[in-house]
Structure 1
């Protein structure tokens, strides 16, 4: 498996859309999960400060991805979080993990964790936060993030078409994958 980090969306946009469509296939009929809706969010996130994506490839085929950007106190991400997060989390910029996905045949292999850790290895922020649908995978996705060190700090509904999500946070420090190449 080859991990590639980039801050340039143009170089990986089609691969991200390809993997997203495969990962979210059962949900693509829902407005919030449609590929076009994801593409619009992806373009917006990529234009925000600190955008970085990590993609995993096997035999040249994209098999998974994660991407994040930097958020600061007052950002709409924090404004939509209820209850208001502790100052500890918002007094300095944080990394917001916006999406992570792995093709079905690669799940349960540690691929998602490797992508996640490779992404965090590119970050300087003290904390990383994410939002998860607590119903995803019958609660297994939420439980998985807890094993990765994330803690629940609130709830958020990013858009009218979105379910209510659980906001989680952890320190961004990791020791693995410090040498991932950037493109």
Structure 2
């Protein structure tokens, strides 16, 4: 049986050191969606490169026996960031008056799902942040709604909708305090 206890977490603040492992895990986690333009490895790589060059980039990767099995990454966003500009309705000033961390991606390979690994990765990323809020976007159809329900169980609340690109589905924007 796979256990979260065998997992080692590593934090990266430079994309170059983590890029290959991020793409490797992403390709496995999103394998069923890679044929869709918004989920292709090329599109993910372009997004990853853009996010990796933005202020406050940080990634946490989980490894077992030296192999990457999960990840989360994000960066700082401020009032006026395109992230907030695409959110409808406009988020409350409470959320945008100071920088927030935007959790851009999180994923765990199948054998390590339901072991607490995703939560450990998520919490490790937030533990290293100073921003008062963390926000993320989720496809409400992912896992037939189970992914959004998981985020709700982690304390996130729905604050709006966003469609980051024409190829993207309409996503639910969620937010919570970082600690």
1:144 is aligned to 2:145: no
Aligned positions, number:
173
1:66 is aligned to 2:72: yes
In structure 2, C-alpha distance between the alignment counterparts of 1:142 and 1:109, rounded to whole Å: 18
Q: CA deviation at 1:79?
A: 0.2
Which residue matches 1:2?
8
In structure 1, C-alpha distance between the alignment counterparts of 2:126 and 2:8, rounded to whole Å: 16
Partner SS state of residue 12, structure 1: helix
TM-score normalised by L of structure 2 = 0.96
Which residue matches 1:36?
42
In structure 2, C-alpha distance between the alignment counterparts of 1:89 and 1:12, rounded to whole Å: 29
TM-score normalised by L of structure 1 = 0.94
Partner SS state of residue 153, structure 1: strand
- The structure 1 segments of at least 4 consecutive aligned residues displaced by more than 2 Å after TM superposition are none
1:165 is aligned to 2:165: no
In structure 1, C-alpha distance between the alignment counterparts of 2:112 and 2:62, rounded to whole Å: 10
Which residue matches 2:124?
118
